[in-house]
Copies of this chain bind each other. A is one copy, B any other.
Amino acid sequence: MKAIVTIMLKDGVLDPQGKAIGQALQNLGFPQVGDVRAGKVIELELAETDAQAAKSAAEDMAKKLLANQVIERFKVEIAG
- Chain A residues in the interface with B (C-beta under 8 A): 6, 8, 18, 21-22, 24-25, 28, 30-48, 57, 60-61, 64-66
Interface core residue of A42, A47, A64 (most chain B CB under 10 Å): A42
CB distance B65 to A46 under 8 Å? no
CB distance A42 to B32 under 8 Å? no
CB distance A66 to B8 under 8 Å? no
Interface core residue of A24, A36, A57, A60 (most chain B CB under 10 Å): A36
CB distance A8 to B65 under 8 Å? no
Interface core residue of A32, A33, A34 (most chain B CB under 10 Å): A32
Name the B residues within 8 Å of A65 (CB-CB).
21, 24-25, 28
